[in-house]
Chain A
């Protein structure tokens, strides 16, 4: 049985699955059922050091940069519609290969062109983030973002971070106005 987290809660993934190395982080949401402008949600990962900033621009893993430089964090691709059961987007991580200077991986979901399409998380239902052990495909932890969101166009779902020798998962569910650009800047990404 996976650990179900509330907003702000955390769990030690290493304790849940001793010897854990490769995990899949799944992120999901319900597609809109109404018509109108397309609704495209994107997951991204900020691979951060001690200061909470990305190690380099290449450590911002998103739809245009599917892998971190060392290959330990890999985005498996963009799902344009949110259709289908289960995870809408997945990120594969080899925790044992993550460089020592990486202290946390921040997982965010942003609404593509949310501002111009007048779309926001107030219109997104049943968002979640979960961590799966690739060895056996067991779900280790899950966070359902049950907050009543509003006009945010970017959302930090959660983070996977080092705590001493362990890897932990923290449920954040923090909204962010302005979309992916400002969110990336705040994590130290230099936008062109």
Chain B
């Protein structure tokens, strides 16, 4: 049994081992493990192993919580090669560590790491670190921390914590900061330009086409084909539709100042379908309804993982994800976003409403077109 004093280190003999963290009973203490790279920082939320994400690094680190004993399992052979260090931390919900009893860490190969809490003003402690040293993994008793608690600790290691929430929240796919994502809660954005001229507005529909293997004979299931289109209404009362169906590709230089650039029938094209609008003609428009419909395949919108991105020159990119369940299997039509002319601003509202077809959607939005079935 090796006992490591604060600052002391020892080599780790086995690439797979467990680290038991015995917490004082009744303390509101959480333990986390962070994967750190060459700059001493994490690369993302996926590098944090904690109660809401109990396995990281492809199984390199996992956490099991049983009351006051929280155990990390390490498989260093699975550790991504550019991970230089794993730090194991304890954080208190309230107060300082001086108020709780000592913590004891023990590895399955018999290394004991006592962490004394007497006199400790910190609310977050780095208990130990597991690090590479000349091709050898070692473990060190660190026993140092931050008065500012988990947030100070997380920020030190490059983890973003939603302030002032002290407990880590389950990581969700984060949106690029330069984009505006319209969600159920924040469903509207207004884009403003003093002269009402927005340049060329580009709208992209993209989706993941999952290649499901086709059973016994190896025939692939036919993929889903998503089409992008738009209902358009002008201030004059004129209206129309731009879509591949019925060859209504539109025109960018004259009415309807909207054009479908190409039709990606297979879904294999990586950048999906593009619709362009002459934003300089925006003052003529009353409203545009951007929609997607499933031309072929079962109406399973969740599987399409569809996303529509709206790019207006000089404006933040707006994206709408079609990640909600449609009510019925035959609802192959999705109204994605409604662009309305409000005093020549573009007011974009996230719709994500599902319909059985063009006519039902037309009725719902009161466009007033006549519909007959078409094929492209």
Contacts and interface: CB of A to CB of B under 8 A. Distances in A.
Interface string B145-161: 11110001000100000
Contacts of A34: 122, 126, 144-146, 156
Given A34-B145, A35-B145, A151-B7, A122 B122 contact: no
Contacts of B126: 34
Contact of B7 (A33, A35, A36, A122): A122
Contacts, number: 52
A151 B7 CA distance: 6
B138 A148 contact: yes
B132 to A, nearest CB: 11
A122 B156 CA distance: 19
A35 B121 contact: yes
B8 interface: yes
B6 A35 contact: no
Contacts of B69: none
Interface of B: 5-9, 116, 120-122, 126, 133, 138, 140-148, 152, 156
Interface in A69-123: 118-123
25 contacts: A32-B144, A33-B156, A34-B146, A35-B121, A35-B122, A35-B146, A35-B147, A35-B148, A36-B120, A36-B122, A36-B144, A36-B145, A119-B7, A120-B8, A121-B7, A122-B141, A123-B7, A123-B144, A148-B9, A148-B138, A150-B7, A150-B8, A151-B5, A151-B7, A151-B8
A81 B120 CA distance: 20
Contacts of A119: 7
Interface in A138-161: 148-151
A122 B140 contact: yes
Given A148-B9, A151-B6, 15 more contacts: A34-B122, A34-B144, A34-B146, A34-B156, A35-B121, A35-B122, A35-B145, A35-B148, A36-B120, A36-B145, A119-B7, A121-B7, A123-B144, A148-B133, A150-B9
